[in-house]
Amino acid sequence: MMWGNWTVVSEFVLVSFSTLSSEIQALLFFLFLTIYLVTLMGNVLIILVTTADSALQNPMYFFLRNLSFLEIGFNLVIVPKMLDTLIIQDTTISFLGCATQMYFFFFFGAAECCLLATMAYDRYVAICDPLRYPIIMNRRACAQLAAASWFSGFPVATVQTTWIFSFPFCGPNRVNHFFCDSPPVIALVCADTSLFELEALTATVLFILFPFLLILGSYVRILSTIFRMPSAEGKRKAFSTCSSHLLVVSLFYSTAILTYFRPRSSTSPESKKLLSLSYTVVTPMLNPIIYSLRNSEVKAALRRVLHRTLGPQKI
């Protein structure tokens, strides 16, 4: 595949976990396959339960459904190819396939950052301005916030991916990762990438750090309001409505910030792979578990759905 007079690379090789023994790779395959299936089933279950149960038709669960859709997309982009490299040892990925994987990774990643910030804003309004909550978070406003979160992924994915794959790739073509992420791919470019790296840093700040700061600011106000509540029961209920989202945000952002804001010299490729596994594979599996186990409304709705589906004698 030729892009101009420079590009001679027609495919990439994902190093993935090829340095490990075949036995360990087989164990990793079954581990990641199990996580993948649990992730899909858990997020699909969250979508079905929050859609089917009338008690969960409020903004918090509307945004939770959107988060589950994002997590499913995030997993579908990365995990199947990773499983393929582990079991079939097919580590090659085409030029177009690498660009497509990177595009949707950027898209779902940026959209998730913005959606988590939107969910924090929803909790902020619910706790800090409860009387106006139905007015502020009406159905139209929720749809617009969700659409804006999804749309935010398009500009960053389009600009980043188009720019990266317009560079010349003269070889080698070994991507030292288990998917086509920006840093290991840009390391293969045989041209000056300093301007792109500046733009990438700006995009990272806008779509990772800025939403994180909005979430942090929202929870500062939320905690301040909760501590001023006179009732212990009121404090407990307020904490319970925020704890699941706060735990999900902590898991996602802690690994994402460690991955993209640490100096290159202090991050080995292997440690970057482990950090990437946390937010691309493990966190999407934990999200539905966290929201179902720590949320009494979701657990009650799940019981009602199972009761209607299976009948009381089978539960």
pLDDT in tens, 297-312: 777 777 777 777 666 5
Amino acid of residue 189: V
* Alpha-helical segments (H) within 178-295: 182-186, 194-204, 210-227, 232-260, 269-277, 283-293
The whole model's pTM is what? 0.88
The β-bridge partners of 174 are 13
201 contacts 146 by C-beta, under 8 angstroms:
no
pLDDT beyond 70 at 266 = no
CB count in 10 Å sphere of residue 147: 11
Classify domain 11-299 by CATH number: 1.20.1070.10
Give the pLDDT band of residue 3 (cuts 50, 70, 90): very low
pLDDT beyond 80 at 263 = no
Write down the domain spans for the chain: 11-299
* pLDDT tens, position by position, 148-181: 999 999 999 999 999 999 998 887 889 988 899 8
Using CA atoms, how far residue 299 sits from 49, 56, 302, 304, in Å, is 10, 11, 5, 9
- CA-closest candidate to residue 115, choices 75, 77, 74, 81: 74
Percent of the chain with pLDDT over 70: 91
